[in-house]
Amino acid sequence: MIDPTPNETEAMATGGQMGGEYLESIGKSDLATLSEEEWARFLDAVVTGYCDHLRALAAKDRNRLDAMAPEVPF
């Protein structure tokens, strides 16, 4: 990813953490030793962690921006 936003950077860290937690849960750290199913679950953990966190940050930003917007006077 070229020039990630602060939200993307934070989401990448969360996705990485989720992938690490999955690896810990199966007792492996060498990606080359993962079975095809383990690899798919590892990727799912990373991508889901990234996407879920990015959506949560976007919702937080949206709520903050909506609170700043003045109400329409009509």
Q: Decide if 71 is inside a domain.
A: no
Domain around 16: 6-57
Q: Decide if 62 is inside a domain.
A: no
Predicted TM-score (pTM) of the model is: 0.81
Which pLDDT score, from 0 to 100, does residue 9 have? 95
Which pLDDT score, from 0 to 100, does residue 72 have? 61
Q: Is the pLDDT of residue 73 over 70?
A: no
- The tally of domains found in the chain comes to 1
Q: Decide if 63 is inside a domain.
A: no
Q: Decide if 69 is inside a domain.
A: no
Q: Decide if 35 is inside a domain.
A: yes
Torsion from C-alpha of 25, 26, 32, 33, nearest 10 degrees: 170
Give per-residue pLDDT as tens, 6-58.
999 999 999 999 999 999 999 999 999 999 999 999 999 999 999 999 999 98
